[in-house]
Structure 1
Amino acid sequence: MELSLSPHLPLPVLLLAGCPTYMDVVIVLDGSNSIYPWAEVQTFLRRLVGRLFIDPEQIQVGLVQYGETAVHEWSLGDFRTKEEVVKAARNLSRREGRETHTAQAIMVACTEGFSPSRGGRPEAARLLVVVTDGESHDGEELPAALRACEAGSVTRYGIAVLGHYIRRQRDPSSFLREIRAIASDPDERFFFNVTDEAALTDIVDALGDRIFGLEGSHGENESSFGLEMSQIGFSTHQLKDGILFGMVGAYDWGGSVLWLKEGHRLFPPRTALEEEFPTALQNHAAYLGYSVSSLILLGGRRLFLSGAPRFKHRGKVIAFQLRKDGSMNVAQSLQGEQIGSYFGSELCPLDTNGDGVTDVLLVAAPMYLGPQYRETGRVYVYLVGQQPSLILWRTLQPDPPQDSRFGFAMAALPDLNQDGFADVAVGAPLEDGHRGALYIYHGTQGGIRPHPAQRISAASMPQPLSYFGRSVDGQLDLDGDELVDVAVGAQGAAVLLSSRPIVHLAPSLTVTPPAVSVVQRDCQRHGQDATCLTADLCFQVTSRTPGRWNRRFYVRFSASLDEWTAGARAAFDGFGQRLPVRRLRVSVGNVTCQQLHFHVLDASDYLRPLALAVTFELDNATKPRPVLDEDSPTSLRKLVPFSKDCGPDNECHTDLVLQVDMDIRGSRKKPFVVRGGRQKVLVSATLENRKENAYNTNLSLSFSRSLHLASFTPQKDPSVKVECTATSTHGQLCSIGHPVFQTGAKVTFVLEFEFSCSSLLSQALVRLAATSNSLESNETLHDNVVQASAYIRYEPEILVSSESTLHRYEVHPYGALPEGPGPEFKTTLRVQNLGCYSISDLLISAFFPAVAYGGSYFLSLSQIIADNASCMVQNLTEPSEAPVHSEDLRHVSRLNGSNSRCQVVRCHLGRLPRGSQSSLQFLRLIHDDFFRRAKFKSVTVVSTFKLGVEEGSILQLMEASQWSESLLEVIQARHVPVSLWILVGSVIGGLLLLALIVFCLWKLGFFARKKAPEEDGNGKVDQ
């Protein structure tokens, strides 16, 4: 596209040419290791000195770089032109250093940098610009350095670079306090802070303006200006009858506006601005005219708008009228809420509905600090009333918060999405690491939507960009497609964003037949009876986008059946629950349809309707790639009900009747006893439907832990299908006649249970509950739940046996054996569990006859050895008769608890698992002295053992199995007299035997005595 640009009308020259500014500027630059990238610092220097009028008769620039030491890189008199200084800045290398000696560098600059030997001029204003990214290591020397600067009348600017602190997530509060102390007062004029080194370039304009005009102050060595430094054209606004110019430098940087109307110039004098911008605040440099615009009220009344982003350091916007005499009538003013936010730097009035009346006003505060000291930016949206009255409606800001400068540029756009309302674009050049982004907000009737419809990031562009979104405009069709395009500025580049056609899709779904029959099946799928249905999916396409573009394109869609329902109830023919993505060619102004065939299988859930869902989108492969209207749906859901064959109201009112009978009976007073021969329980149940169809009829069965379900046997009736599944160890859920338990249907089934061997309970309980998805009145619900129960006791299978080491004992008379108690013997009692379950709560009572008349013991208990039992000896019992006397023992055949006092031992047996046993050993002594005194021939001592259970136990013993005995027979030894001849014969025989033994020993020489041998006089032994 060829563009020929030429001036249309010459603009009047308002300002004086060549207003000299006579000053010396020394830049103190931190060159330590922490400040990087260095290229960004060099860019800042080049742009800063590029804004200054460098000349020996105007501005001179020197530079001191420091780290651990301060060095004069160049002095004030070294360079005479701007180009020389820019070249020196480009070639400047970093000195580096591990420490930051800011105080030393300031002292060197103020005492040496402005000296005549370095090119300083005594009559020139002196400015010091300190740029650093960290707190000084010689802070204790800073007061002396600042006093030296004050003595030399040096005005100081402090610039804090927070990149090092943000990267390391450190608190910069102490650092900022130090830089504020370095900067001259007030801080609002002489103090700057930026997020990182790259952001230094963002303050070049503001810093250059302040240096150039000394921020409108009137101190020593400083000048006062009227319109000489106006910077007319800093902002402009096209009007039907002229142009509105902003003049930020007018009136000592307080600012003003100029209306160029039909060759006439209208601008307010300084006095006309005093009410809104008092003279006492003129040193604050409000920058009125930084942005200019206008809004139209109802009736055609027009108000001019201008922003002063530095008014009281919070910013201000005024809505006003200019009269022909230059006087100003301010209708309303708006003020910012945060210091340094640059509120009012951008203005964007918007007529959303196109009626020629402004509906909303957007005011930007791009340097608004959000969380974590981030320059998120904020846009204030005001509703335009008719008084006029600008009412704050809402604020816009990026989400999530980041360094953004949201609102740095704004532009009203035509109706991009073809909804009948104008739109707006908001630039955010610092987002994504200074790459930038652009936000598009759609308008509404009298406002704009709170959330962006689109975020266009520079990262998505084919070429790398920086500061994308620093300017934006969108009023022209630049590519010839009759659609308005949006031009977006970036650093060293401009991007043209083409609009795309907007289409609206109106989808519809029609299912045939409209309801799914539960009873009737009209097709077969995968060898099973099924119900087949057809869905007609249609798209009606409309578009209000003008121009020449291909109005035929493709829609991609997919469908699903019961996507969020567990278990498949339906499926597409040839597929499953999901239909793969398909393409359908559609055209604007027509309705296009496609059929989807699916079938319903036998399912358990017929209460909830079947859900058919369709999701769709435009096929991006189509040129020129239209986009879907944001109000158009992207999905469609159709609910297909199930027909229930329950009359005209299609509501089924049923009456389920459940009857149950158990073949055992047992009450609390007379419980049913479970014995080894009876281990089963039979429960018969009948379920009947006495009214309309019952859908999804279920029978819930639960039973106590003392039972095990052995079998479930329904009647053999093919018309009523019964299927059961276990829901738990003691629960079943049965489906009755699925899917429908029809009117008048009846089903009977028998439940066979076995008594559990692991869990013994005092009650056997079986509970059944019938439910369905049909309706049933409360009056008939009482027979839907029944239960059968019986109280029970268990008769354990126990074998009790006893054995003794002594069954018969003979008592010898006095003199035959030593006196004292007789021998000790042992009686062992064994209890064996022969049943299938563990036994506890068993008690054994042992009764041992021990004491006769007069307290004479004939038997006594000496020791008890218990295995898996705890025993305790109790008091002697009292017999029903008087204890037997030893003299009367000949008349008694038995000694037991009825005629003698017994020693009683009570034992509590521990738990007896299945197949285990417990043994008790009782050791007793026989008292011979009692039986020797007594006159008797034989007597039997009867010991008795009784088996019982604890009170409240669920065990019950048979009477015959409760008692056992152990017997010991005691007899008196018989006395036999010896004859006299036997004694005499025994003596004579013994003497003869002794004589025979002596004779034999004599013969053998046993009684011969040996003599010792004698010696002669020579010592020889006589042989």
Structure 2
Amino acid sequence: MGFVGSQDGFHGIPGWIPWDPRMDSVGSRDGFRGIPGWIPWDPWMDSVGSLDGFHGIWGWILDGILDGFCGIPGWIPWDPGICCVPQACSPLWAHECGSSYFTTGMCSRVSSSFRFSRSVAPALQRCQTYMDIIIVLDGSNSIYPWVEVQHFLINILKKFYIGPGQIQVGVVQYGEDVVHEFHLNDYRSVQDVVAAASHIEQRGGTETRTAYGIEFARSEAFRKGGRKGAKRVMIVITDGESHDSPDLEKVIEDSERDNVTRYAVAVLGYYNRRGINPEAFLNEIKFIASDPDDKHFFNVTDEAALKDIVDALGERIFSLEGTNKNEISFGLEMSQTGFSSHVVEDGILLGAVGAYDWNGAVLKETSSGKVIPLRESYLQEFPEELKNHGAYLGYTVSSVVSTKHERIYVAGAPRFNHTGKVILFTMHSNRNLTIHQALKGEQIGSYYGSEINSLDANGDGVTDVLLVGAPMFFSEGRERGKVYVYTLRGNLFVPSGALGDLQSYQNSRFGSCIAAVPDLNQDSYNDLVVGAPLEDEHQGAIYVFLGFQETILRKYKQRIAAAQLAPGLSYFGCSIHGQLDLNEDGLVDLAVGSLGNAVLLWSRSVVRINASLRFEPSKINIFTKDCKRNGKEATCMRAFVCFTALFLSPHFQTASVGLRYNATIDERRYSPRAHLDDGAERARGLELPAGQEHCHSLPFHVLDTADYVKPVTFSIDYELEHTEHGPMLEDGWPTSLRVSVPFWNGCNEDEHCVPDLVLDARSDIPSATSLWSPSGARLGELGMFPWRREGSRESWEC
């Protein structure tokens, strides 16, 4: 397994360094989670860009499938059984509500040609300024001067946030009759509405039919251009008691039934100019206004004083829900939905770190609607007393599959209680959660839970390993980072050590990105890639870990450093994607993000080389001298070395691989018995087609020798011809072959000689009674040892 690098020009995928989403600027040198190159960023600056006038960063997450592959590891696990579509999310997408911008976030589907289609924004709620406002003006003769009413009308209109999704305004004027000055949907901007209002002339009339004007506004004005779901607001401005006051009770009842909120303004100029007691008039206006009167009733001394209530009236109309004297509590207004995402069978999970006062939440968008869990659903693991800590639940989201083949969602909250937490849960359509398990970090500030991924190592559809990153884990005086490993036991994940043995004592932030990838080394087990973007003085590196059976091997198999690939790369490993076959060779490749660049790493095919060696004849017969070498009689033979290349990937069954080999006779003695013929010792190269045996002949000769018991050993050492590119040999596969060729011993084919020793002994001692000689003469005996069976070549006499 290995990779061949190439550098491309698209921007890195974010998600590697902790970022505080509540900051006014997007990230910092040690706290960035954005898209380098999409917003101005200098890693040596204290801040990154600005949000002034900025409505989101599209492309924060590219999630889903392209060319049949699901997911972006690091944020979602790879699962070939899930069918999904690509999603691009912009968690900082903001929409205007009155004078505020709410960063609710948004995601859109992306086609294979990178075109946006259907957008989803589950946290997007209608603004409090989603209103249909009808202003009911008394235009009877008693209103004077009319220009003051016009000034009031223009000033209050300038306070309104008029536009799509916000406020619509219509105006009716009444006296004896009622007329539409303009309808709700006639104008879409403040400028247009103000221009229209400036041309409204006083209609006049000797009667003030206020009940008629209110009923007309309720039944007619709200219907023409009114929007379903918009809050209905009516502002009534009059300077005298109505001539149709008996109808008021019924008219107000109908308005209450239609949920029309009524603000009533009593202009006392007529009464003050004539010294008339206005008590009855004021009581009538209070009756018209919605309860309570202190919020919905106004009175001014005369027409010129209308300008004094403009601000107060505007504030009361646009007061935020959830506001009290001491605090403002946010639900989903600042949720930043799409900060992380994960595709599941029936929809998409979206992390919303800013929800519920930045404690965070996980939302779900499905084809049948959205699921937004209630704040109370999280209290089991995120108690109310810690609500001000900003847990950032949803910083990353993922899922696992239990032994019961149930999908369980996983979400990280890296700031919970300063040590971090990960929860495993299921989500219900009634907006409740069931939290099955919680895993907690162990070190303050480690950002435990900022990266989560799961791995089905053996591909049986059940999650084998859950991995939780703590990239800011501090050890041995360095911010080295740590990746916790949890294995599935029953229905729970239990701690099972950590990935490590990096032999790197530096600020690495190992675990900033964790990517589950399909089988890279083609051994049928899925693998893992982990980013360490701060290694080598912020140049960065990635580590490849191999899956095996139902786990992940704890020691990394390959380290790829940015310094090996190209000069100038920095923060390499901040994001990793490994699901696509980018060069269409049948192998999954890696895209690794760095600051302002992405590096493409081609996967390499893995091959096994089977080698064999045979001899003709199969044994060395030194009694058969069939050639001459250097003027000496010799036994000449041939060795045939054969190679077969077997690619592990089925896509390479028609490929070939270059091989170089060297043959030697392993004779560790002063005078070798056997020699390769001239030229045979040179290194040779050949091209091996997949699955086809390829053989070479190696002539050699054996000279006369007294040692024909110990066999002659041949050595074949071989390697792939192009080690930097192309296929690579399977890890641990042999690269040498040693075979011994024996000497012929004259035995049968079974190579076992069976001796038949006969002892023939004769004594030269004369007959005597004594067995010793007093003269010291040596007594002797002659013996013959003839070999009469296999291998018999001589007799020995002693």
- The TM-score, its normalising length taken from structure 1, stands at 0.41
- Secondary structure (helix, strand or coil) at the match of 2:391 reads coil
Instruction: Name the counterpart of 2:201.
Output: none
For the pair 1:630 / 2:681, whether they are aligned, the reply is no
For the pair 1:616 / 2:718, whether they are aligned, the reply is yes
For the pair 1:472 / 2:582, whether they are aligned, the reply is no
1:468 and 1:644, CA in 2 relative to 1: closer, same or farther beyond 3 A? same
The gaps in structure 2 that reach 5 residues or longer are 1-9, 11-20, 29-40, 55-324, 758-780
Alpha-carbon distance in structure 2 between the residues aligned to 1:446 and 1:316: 25
Alpha-carbon distance in structure 1 between the residues aligned to 2:337 and 2:539: 30
Instruction: Note the alpha carbon deviations across 1:383-405, whole angstroms, 9 max, x for none.
Output: 33442444526534423444322
Instruction: Name the counterpart of 2:741.
Output: 640
1:514 and 1:280, CA in 2 relative to 1: closer, same or farther beyond 3 A? farther
Instruction: Name the counterpart of 1:345.
Output: 450
**1:78-157 alignment to 2 at 5 Å?**
none
1:322 and 1:512, CA in 2 relative to 1: closer, same or farther beyond 3 A? same
- Secondary structure (helix, strand or coil) at the match of 1:419 reads coil
Instruction: Name the counterpart of 2:527.
Output: 423
Instruction: Note the alpha carbon deviations across 1:336-394, whole angstroms, 9 max, x for none.
Output: 344433222212212233333222222222223344x2333332333334424445265
1:287 and 1:321, CA in 2 relative to 1: closer, same or farther beyond 3 A? same
Instruction: Name the counterpart of 1:1020.
Output: none
- Secondary structure (helix, strand or coil) at the match of 1:407 reads coil
Equivalent residue for 1:513, pick from 581, 603, 617? 617
- Secondary structure (helix, strand or coil) at the match of 1:325 reads coil
1:521 CA displacement: 5.1
1:48 CA displacement: 2.0
Alpha-carbon distance in structure 2 between the residues aligned to 1:489 and 1:594: 47
**1:911-926 alignment to 2 at 5 Å?**
none
**1:958-997 alignment to 2 at 5 Å?**
none
Instruction: Note the alpha carbon deviations across 1:986-1021, whole angstroms, 9 max, x for none.
Output: xxxxxxxxxxxxxxxxxxxxxxxxxxxxxxxxxxxx
Alpha-carbon distance in structure 1 between the residues aligned to 2:384 and 2:671: 80
Paired amino acid for 2:573: G
Instruction: Name the counterpart of 1:240.
Output: 345
Equivalent residue for 1:437, pick from 510, 521, 541? 541
Equivalent residue for 1:296, pick from 401, 408, 417? 401
Alpha-carbon distance in structure 1 between the residues aligned to 2:375 and 2:669: 75
Alpha-carbon distance in structure 2 between the residues aligned to 1:322 and 1:429: 34
Equivalent residue for 1:587, pick from 685, 689, 697? 689
Alpha-carbon distance in structure 2 between the residues aligned to 1:296 and 1:614: 49
Paired amino acid for 2:581: D
Alpha-carbon distance in structure 2 between the residues aligned to 1:318 and 1:249: 17
Instruction: Name the counterpart of 1:326.
Output: 431
For the pair 1:559 / 2:663, whether they are aligned, the reply is yes
CA contact (8 A) 2:414 2:450 kept: yes
Equivalent residue for 1:286, pick from 388, 391, 402? 391
Paired amino acid for 1:488: V
1:242 CA displacement: 1.2
CA contact (8 A) 1:466 1:490 kept: yes
Alpha-carbon distance in structure 1 between the residues aligned to 2:478 and 2:22: 39
**1:411-810 alignment to 2 at 5 Å?**
411-517=515-621, 522-545=626-649, 547=651, 551-562=655-666, 568-574=672-678, 579-601=681-703, 608-620=710-722, 625-630=726-731, 632-645=733-746, 650=752, 744-745=795-796
- Secondary structure (helix, strand or coil) at the match of 1:344 reads coil
Paired amino acid for 1:620: H
Alpha-carbon distance in structure 2 between the residues aligned to 1:283 and 1:258: 21
For the pair 1:261 / 2:363, whether they are aligned, the reply is no
Alpha-carbon distance in structure 2 between the residues aligned to 1:629 and 1:462: 27
Q: Tell which has more relative contact order, 1 or 2 (C-alpha 8 A, sep 6+).
A: 2
1:478 CA displacement: 2.9
1:22 and 1:497, CA in 2 relative to 1: closer, same or farther beyond 3 A? closer
Q: Answer 1 or 2: which has greater strand percent.
A: 1
Instruction: Name the counterpart of 2:474.
Output: 369
Instruction: Name the counterpart of 1:915.
Output: none
CA contact (8 A) 2:479 2:506 kept: yes
1:49 and 1:538, CA in 2 relative to 1: closer, same or farther beyond 3 A? closer
Alpha-carbon distance in structure 2 between the residues aligned to 1:336 and 1:290: 15
Q: Equivalent pairs: percent with the same residue? A: 43
CA contact (8 A) 1:385 1:391 kept: no
1:403 and 1:534, CA in 2 relative to 1: closer, same or farther beyond 3 A? farther
Alpha-carbon distance in structure 1 between the residues aligned to 2:559 and 2:53: 43
Paired amino acid for 2:700: F
1:517 and 1:48, CA in 2 relative to 1: closer, same or farther beyond 3 A? same
1:335 and 1:604, CA in 2 relative to 1: closer, same or farther beyond 3 A? farther
**1:821-832 alignment to 2 at 5 Å?**
none
For the pair 1:250 / 2:301, whether they are aligned, the reply is no
1:427 CA displacement: 1.6
Paired amino acid for 2:690: V
CA contact (8 A) 1:397 1:406 kept: no
CA contact (8 A) 1:430 1:467 kept: yes
Alpha-carbon distance in structure 1 between the residues aligned to 2:558 and 2:782: 63
How many residues get paired?
Answer: 471
1:327 CA displacement: 2.1
CA contact (8 A) 1:244 1:292 kept: yes
- Secondary structure (helix, strand or coil) at the match of 1:433 reads helix
- Secondary structure (helix, strand or coil) at the match of 1:460 reads helix
CA contact (8 A) 1:236 1:246 kept: yes
CA contact (8 A) 1:231 1:249 kept: yes
Alpha-carbon distance in structure 2 between the residues aligned to 1:314 and 1:535: 67
1:596 and 1:273, CA in 2 relative to 1: closer, same or farther beyond 3 A? same
Alpha-carbon distance in structure 1 between the residues aligned to 2:796 and 2:628: 27
1:572 CA displacement: 1.8
CA contact (8 A) 2:466 2:493 kept: no
* Alpha-carbon RMSD: 4.3
Alpha-carbon distance in structure 2 between the residues aligned to 1:503 and 1:596: 25
Alpha-carbon distance in structure 2 between the residues aligned to 1:268 and 1:566: 85
Alpha-carbon distance in structure 2 between the residues aligned to 1:249 and 1:447: 35
Instruction: Note the alpha carbon deviations across 1:461-504, whole angstroms, 9 max, x for none.
Output: 24431111110112223334444322110001011222333333
Alpha-carbon distance in structure 2 between the residues aligned to 1:687 and 1:599: 43
Paired amino acid for 1:449: L
Instruction: Name the counterpart of 2:47.
Output: 48
Instruction: Note the alpha carbon deviations across 1:75-96, whole angstroms, 9 max, x for none.
Output: xxxxxxxxxxxxxxxxxxxxxx
1:654 CA displacement: 12
Alpha-carbon distance in structure 2 between the residues aligned to 1:361 and 1:591: 44
Paired amino acid for 2:49: G
1:555 CA displacement: 1.4
Alpha-carbon distance in structure 2 between the residues aligned to 1:348 and 1:253: 23
1:560 and 1:51, CA in 2 relative to 1: closer, same or farther beyond 3 A? farther
1:224 and 1:49, CA in 2 relative to 1: closer, same or farther beyond 3 A? farther
CA contact (8 A) 1:383 1:393 kept: no
Paired amino acid for 1:48: S
Alpha-carbon distance in structure 1 between the residues aligned to 2:732 and 2:362: 43
Alpha-carbon distance in structure 1 between the residues aligned to 2:469 and 2:784: 74
1:360 and 1:553, CA in 2 relative to 1: closer, same or farther beyond 3 A? same
- Secondary structure (helix, strand or coil) at the match of 1:277 reads coil
1:331 and 1:496, CA in 2 relative to 1: closer, same or farther beyond 3 A? same
1:530 and 1:348, CA in 2 relative to 1: closer, same or farther beyond 3 A? farther
Paired amino acid for 1:354: G
1:458 CA displacement: 1.5
Instruction: Note the alpha carbon deviations across 1:424-446, whole angstroms, 9 max, x for none.
Output: 22222122222122223333332
Paired amino acid for 1:574: D
1:557 CA displacement: 1.4
1:339 and 1:569, CA in 2 relative to 1: closer, same or farther beyond 3 A? farther
